[in-house]
Amino acid sequence: MRVLLVEMDTHTYPFYLKACAKCFDVREGERVHGIVVRNGFEALVFVQNALVHLYSACGMAESGYRLFEEMPERNRVTWNSVINGFAINGRPNEVMTLFREMGFEGVLPDGFTMVSLLTACVELGALALGRRAHVYLLKIGLNKNLHVGNALIDLYAKCGSIGEAHCIFNEIGVRSVVSWTSLIVGLAVNGFGKEALDFFKELEEEGLVPSDITFIGVLYACSHCGMVDEGFAYFKRMKEEYSIVPKIEHYGCLVDLLGRAGFVQEAYEFVQNMALKPNAVVWRTLLGSCMTHGHLALGEVVRARLLQLEPKHSGDYVLLSNLYASEGRWSDVQTVRRNMFQKGLRKSPGHSLVELKNHVHEFLMGDKSHSQRKEIYKMLEDVMKKLKVEGYVPRLSNVLADIEEEEKENTLSYHSEKIAIAFMLINTKPGSPIRVVKNLRVCVDCHLAIKLISKIYDREIIVRDRSRFHHFRDGICSCKDYW
């Protein structure tokens, strides 16, 4: 897509830049940007809006923001472009900051602004802020907007409040396939697989045609509930009844479905016979299953494939290191970690987020940077004592290092989600729910500990980890210990 633009009028540039954004052709967009500057059109607000949109859509949110800062004149389209740029590029804190600045400058948000804000709330797990945004939407009448309604379903579902998501779904007058899909996916990630499949049946009874994303939600539901036969049946229906060509994400769901259920060898054979060439995500999913179920030999084979595809992905080294450690092969653990160090790779640190009084607090493992650190660690000490009275025995196998048993226990005590929960126990009313967002998978020890904490302190604790939700209540988790 390359057109001679020098002779064209100013109104042509925005349309062409939007076309570049739609095609993710940032190089062509940069060429046009140069022509715009040479012709002296860079000061026109509608041209600059199109440039901000281009860079934001192409994953260059910072470039879009730099243009935004230099603009002498901004309108609501400008603000929406830069806010959405940070939202779609996983920068929720910047979205929040810009939304506040937009209000200070007296620019009123519209439906597009609010969808970006709700997306940021989802990313941060900021349910309270999302609820305030919902109230604002009701006040200005934007709750009738279908896109906003779908974003609200997504917000509540992905913040672990599936009941509220269901209420929003019921309030939408004319529901699109996106509305149904948002609820189906929400139910699936919250562990309500059967309910997700029931809603899928209702969608079909309404005469709506499910999309490829709808089927990802359906397969996800089957995967996280151990419904292997049902998952493959839906995959077959997707192809034969709806003529949907499976994407790599659908195949990845089936690999995960088999691996979670313990059919690791079958998952490997499935990957080898896929119609599409398996990508690194598919192989990584299989490597995770090898780790969970202790398939060391196969794990080494899978890791070799990953080395060919993404040799510098730190998570793969960590998974293999963990697999060796679970077998007590400490020399191999050290070799893997030495290779990571030599290649300049670092493990992504685990962190947990909690929302309290309009502020999101972040905790790392062993974090002592918080202003309430003394109170937090005192509460954590009390929690651990009560856990042991309740019969808790630390799962030391989760500390994958060759260190003394007592040191392993201390390491487990300082996992980020335990620190976050201790902080919330101090700062929230007895009986109120606690919501935690973690960037990594919850370990077996923390899962056991949080079940008991929910019982001891009579709290509902909702933890959103890397792949799903865990709803802890009265010593039981919604995942039924299958995750």
Nearest to 448 by CA among 422, 425, 418: 418
Reply yes or no on whether the pLDDT at 345 is more than 50: yes
pLDDT of residue 409: 47
pLDDT of residue 225: 82
* Residue 320 and residue 279 in one domain: yes
Distance CA 193, CA 208 (A): 20
437 in a domain, yes or no?
yes
Q: Specify the range with the lowest mean pLDDT, choosing from 129-133, 238-242, 317-321.
A: 317-321
pLDDT digits (tens, 9 = 90+) for 466-477: 878 899 999 999
Closest by CA position to 467, among listed 164, 167, 259, 229 = 259
Q: Tell me if 244 sits within 8 A of 212, measured CB to CB.
A: yes
Say if residue 291 is in the same domain as residue 216. Answer: no
**pLDDT at site 10:** 64
- The answer to whether residue 274 sits within a structural domain is yes
The answer on 404 and 468 residing in a single domain is yes
371 inside domain? yes
Which has more pLDDT, 169 or 124? 169
In a domain, 385, yes or no: yes
Do 355 and 129 meet the contact criterion of CB atoms below 8 Å apart? yes
Q: In the predicted model, what is the mean pLDDT of residues 437-465?
A: 91
Domain end marker among 198, 223, 245:
245
What is the number of H-type helices and E-type strands within the chain? 24, 6
Q: Tell which wins on pLDDT, 217 or 119.
A: 217
The whole-number pLDDT of residue 61 equals 82
Domain shared by 219 and 265, yes or no = no
Mean pLDDT estimate for the chain: 85
Q: Is residue 6 part of a domain?
A: no
CA distance 406 to 178: 51
Residues 6+ apart with CB under 8 A from 265: 295, 298
Same domain assignment for residues 332 and 398: no
- Neighbouring CB atoms inside 10 A of 338's CB total 10
Residue 130: its pLDDT value, please?
Answer: 87
Residue range 242-253: mean pLDDT, rounded: 95
Residue 205 has pLDDT above 60, yes or no: yes
Which of the two residues, 335 and 215, has the higher pLDDT score? 215
The answer, yes or no, to whether residue 201 has pLDDT greater than 90, is: yes
So what's the pLDDT on residue 454? 96
Q: Which pLDDT band holds residue 460 (cuts at 50, 70, 90)?
A: very high
Does 43 map to a domain?
A: no
Provide the 3-class DSSP secondary structure of residue 295.
coil
DSSP assigned state of 460: -
Highest-pLDDT range among 17-26, 267-276, 286-295, 340-349:
267-276
Residue matched to tokens 């940077």: 369
Same domain, 335 and 356: no
Q: What pLDDT band is residue 403 in, cutting at 50, 70 and 90?
A: very low
Same domain membership, residue 395 and residue 310: no
The answer to the question of residue 189 being in a domain is yes
pLDDT recorded at residue 258: 95
Identify the residue with better confidence: 133 or 21: 133
Residues 433 and 468 in one domain: yes
Bridge-based pairing of strands 469-473 and 476-477 is: antiparallel
- Give yes or no: residues 426 and 332 share one domain: no
Q: Among the listed ranges 224-228, 277-281, 374-378, 457-461, which one has the minimum average pLDDT value?
A: 224-228
Q: Residue 449: inside a domain, yes or no? A: yes
User: For the residues 60-79, what does the mean pLDDT come to?
Assistant: 83
> Domain count of the chain?
3
pLDDT score for 301: 92
Could you say which of 325, 348, 371 is where a domain stops? Answer: 348
Sheet holding 476-477, edge to edge: 359-364, 351-356, 434-438, 461-464, 469-473, 476-477
Verify that 384 and 269 share a domain, yes or no: no
User: Mean pLDDT throughout 271-290?
Assistant: 92
- pLDDT over threshold 80, residue 446: yes
Dump pLDDT digits (tens) for 223-238: 888 889 999 999 999 9
Residue bearing the bigger pLDDT, 31 or 13 = 31
Pair 420, 436: CB distance under 8 Å: yes
pLDDT digits (tens, 9 = 90+) for 329-344: 888 888 888 888 888 8
CATH number at residue 285: 1.25.40
Q: What is the domain extent for residue 183?
A: 175-245
Q: Side-chain half-sphere of 389: how many Cα atoms within 13 Å? A: 9
Final residue of a structural domain among 219, 245, 271: 245
pLDDT at 240: 94
HSE of 261, CA atoms in CB hemisphere, 13 A: 21
Section 275-289 average pLDDT: 92
Residues 211 and 306 in one domain: no
Say whether both 460 and 413 belong to one domain.
Answer: yes
Q: Give residue 404's identity as a one-letter amino acid code.
A: E
Check pLDDT > 70 for residue 4: no
